Structure 1
C-alpha cells in the first residue's frame, strides 16, 4: 500500500489533508482511493492532479476510482465536484453524496488500495463522521475524529467518548488524521491518551 498525503504546501486555503491510497503493485484488483477531497478551491484539485500525474496508477486505471468522505464539512468534501469532473468515482459517505453515491453502513467492508478496509461510523466531531481502518497494517484514516487532546478543558458529547472508546480497542499502528502530522509511532497510546483526557472532561448528554 502507498499512502500519499495531499495538501497544498502554501496552505493558502483552509483545507484538510486528503490521502491518496494506491496498491503497492498497481494490480487490476486494486482500488485507487482518495480519502477526503479538500475544500472548494479549484487550486486544490489542480495540485492533486499534478501529484497524481507523477505516480504509477495501474495500466488503464483511473487515478481515483473511489472517494471516501470522512464527513461532510466543507474542508473535507468541498472539492468533490472537481474530483468527479476528472475521474467520475464512486463516492462513499455516511450521508449520500456525489453523482455515484455509495451510502456507508457501519462496519462496511471496502477495498482501499490493495488492502481490505472497514468503514466505521464514529460520531462526535459530527454526526456523519466515519473512520477508515485497514486491519492488516493497523492503519486508521481518522478524518476529524482524532486530533491532539492534551488537557481536560473542553467539553465533549457522549457520542465522541463512545467513538474514542471504540477506536481504543483496535490494533492501530498508524493514524492519518484530517489535520496535522501522521502518527506512526505509539498510535494506540495516542488514542488512549486522547480517550483519557476526554473521559476526564465534561460530557454532554
Structure 2
C-alpha cells in the first residue's frame, strides 16, 4: 500500500486529489495539508511514501517545504511529486534541487497521476513532457562553460559515472542493466553510491548534476556503453 500525503492550498483541488487517490487500488491517503508549514508537520507525523506537493502556497512554499521535509526525514525518505499549474523554469529547477522525484502539471489526467504516484514510490523519476523539454532547452542554451572533468564527479568510479550518464540520458534501471550487462540490483547500488558520494537526496538531483557538470550534453549521441 502506497501511503500518500496531499499538499495544496486550494481546498477544492486538495479534496479532488484525495478522492481520486482514495479510490485507486493500492493507495492510501494518510493526510492533507494546506500550506508548507503544515506539510512539514504532517509528513513527520504520518511518514508517507509519496507527497503530492503544490509549489505556490502562502507562507512556506512547496520548494522550501520539500527541502525541510527531506532534511528532517529518516530512511526511507518520502518521494515528493510536485503538482503545479506553472511549468516555469525556476519552479522546475527549484523543485529538482530541493529533492523532488517528479514534476507534473495540474492538468494531468487522473490515470496518469495515479501512475506517477506508483512510479515515484518505486524510486523512478517522472516529469511532464513540457517540463522535460524546457529543462533540456535551458541546458542547450546555457552560456556558462562546463569543465571537461568536473571536480564534483572525481569521487565516482568509472562505472558509477557511466550509470549516472545513462540515467541522465533517460534510461530506466532495466535498460541500463541490459546495456551494461549487469543486474538491476547492481545499477541501483551504483546509483545509491553515487547519490551518497555527491550528497544527493534523489535520482532527479543526480540527473541535474549530470547536466550541470557536463557529464551529459543535451543533444549529444544516443546512449551507448563505454569501455
Tell whether the structures are fold-level matches, with TM greater than 0.5.
Answer: no
**Scaled by the length of structure 2, what TM-score is found?**
0.30
**Scaled by the length of structure 1, what TM-score is found?**
0.32
| Structure whose CA Rg is larger | 2
Structure whose residues are more often helix by fraction: 2
